[in-house]
Amino acid sequence: MVLDQPQHPLQVRDVEKPRPSKGQLLIRIVACAVCRTDLHVVDGELPDPKLPLIPGHQIVGYVEEIGEQVNSKFKVGDRVGIPWLGWTDGDCVYCRSNRENLCDRARFTGYTIDGGYAEFTVADARFCFHLPDRYNDVEVAPLLCAGLIGYRSYRKTGDAHRLGIYGFGNAGHLIAQIALFEERDLFVFTRPGDHATQQAARKLGAIWAGGSDQMPPEKLDAAIIFASVGPLVPAALRALAKGGIVVCGGIHMSDIPSFPYDALWEERVLTSVANLTRRDGEEFFKIAPRVPVKTDTQTFPLEQANTALDQFRSGKLKDTAVLVMDAS
């Protein structure tokens, strides 16, 4: 499924099967989960995508061929996960200080390199993960971005005890499970009036769930914003206790309205999360099966990627969409 131009539907197209070059694996893809970032790319909200582009960065597949100079971590037939971070230079100031997520020359799967809305792809073996056995191919796909980048956002909240989550989609739902596992008090904010999602959050174990226009019953030590809605930033800051932190977990957000300095003062912190490091992935895939973190998925055949994106965009998708390559 190929994006020729942003703001246009993807096209079903036969393209040449890629060949693994030095350091790469050839992967036969079996599943690729759909992320909100895919929508931002397709809708032209992120600058300078590779074009034409095969989107998708939550890829589950099996190693079919191994290029030269791949270390022995993978063998033919292994199941692997391919995440958003596809390549880094390894020697810029960020890479050399354990911040490869900020690499100046980083390449991103399904954005600046071809991704997983396809039957085959190649990937730099150093950035691929082994996936926990307890998950099947479809279940594990949504963990690869929502899980990893969500986890990075969660880690930024330190040992915050009272944790708010704004936007209870895939990432919010995944991270809520880890927060509860680690015995945090969880407060969930949804679109005002979305009682079904609030109910689901309480059922999962949130001690409070309400609309994003409401204040929680007590002040929060941290809040993570997963919705791409700028006005949530001052709202979340106002819900914080002194010294609390707001983490913006998305790659794109509408403009943030101005707010009085008062909302930030008393050592409140406002930060964002960009991309992931391989270490985030290794940590997350260690803790996820212990919780165990679960997602609800809805599968679509690969050639119905546009339908999945349309339903996601219009909010009609209840579960996380996963494209499957062998739906016949």
Q: Who contacts 49 (Cβ-Cβ below 8 Å, separation ≥6)?
A: 3, 6, 41, 111, 112
* Residue 35 lies near Zn ion (rule: CB under 5 A): yes
Distance CA 161, CA 140 (A): 28
Distance CA 217, CA 151 (A): 25
| Shortest CB 92 distance to Zn ion, Å | 3
* x/- letters, 42..81, toward Zn ion (CB under 5 A): ----------------------------------------
| Shortest CB 261 distance to Zn ion, Å | 33
| Shortest CB 325 distance to Zn ion, Å | 19
User: Using CB under 5 A, which of 24, 37, 197, 212 touches Zn ion?
Assistant: 37
* Residue 102 lies near Zn ion (rule: CB under 5 A): no
Distance CA 135, CA 143 (A): 10
Choice between 92 and 291, CB closer to Zn ion: 92
Choice between 39 and 206, CB closer to Zn ion: 39
Choice between 41 and 235, CB closer to Zn ion: 41
Distance CA 323, CA 328 (A): 13
The answer to whether 124 and 23 are in contact (CB under 8 A) is: yes
Q: What angle do CA 225, 226, 227 make, to 5 degrees?
A: 95
Choice between 253 and 263, CB closer to Zn ion: 253
Q: Give the pair of three-digit tokens for residue 119.
A: 């039957």
3-state helix vs strand vs coil in the chain, percent to 5: 25, 25, 50
User: Using CB under 5 A, which of 31, 63, 103, 293 touches Zn ion?
Assistant: 103
Choice between 88 and 198, CB closer to Zn ion: 88
* Residue 310 lies near Zn ion (rule: CB under 5 A): no
Is residue 104 exposed (0-12), middle (13-18) or buried (19+ Cβ within 10 Å)? exposed
| Shortest CB 149 distance to Zn ion, Å | 6
Closest to 116 measured CA to CA, from 302, 260, 310: 302
| Shortest CB 209 distance to Zn ion, Å | 24
Choice between 105 and 242, CB closer to Zn ion: 105
Closest to 284 measured CA to CA, from 186, 181, 168: 181
Choice between 208 and 300, CB closer to Zn ion: 300
| Shortest CB 309 distance to Zn ion, Å | 13
* Residue 88 lies near Zn ion (rule: CB under 5 A): yes
Distance CA 226, CA 241 (A): 20
Near Zn ion in 119-148, by CB under 5 A = 145
User: Using CB under 5 A, which of 82, 95, 293, 302 touches Zn ion?
Assistant: 95
Q: Give the pair of three-digit tokens for residue 268.
A: 């409140």
Residues that bind Zn ion (CB under 5 A): 35, 37, 88-89, 92, 95, 103, 145
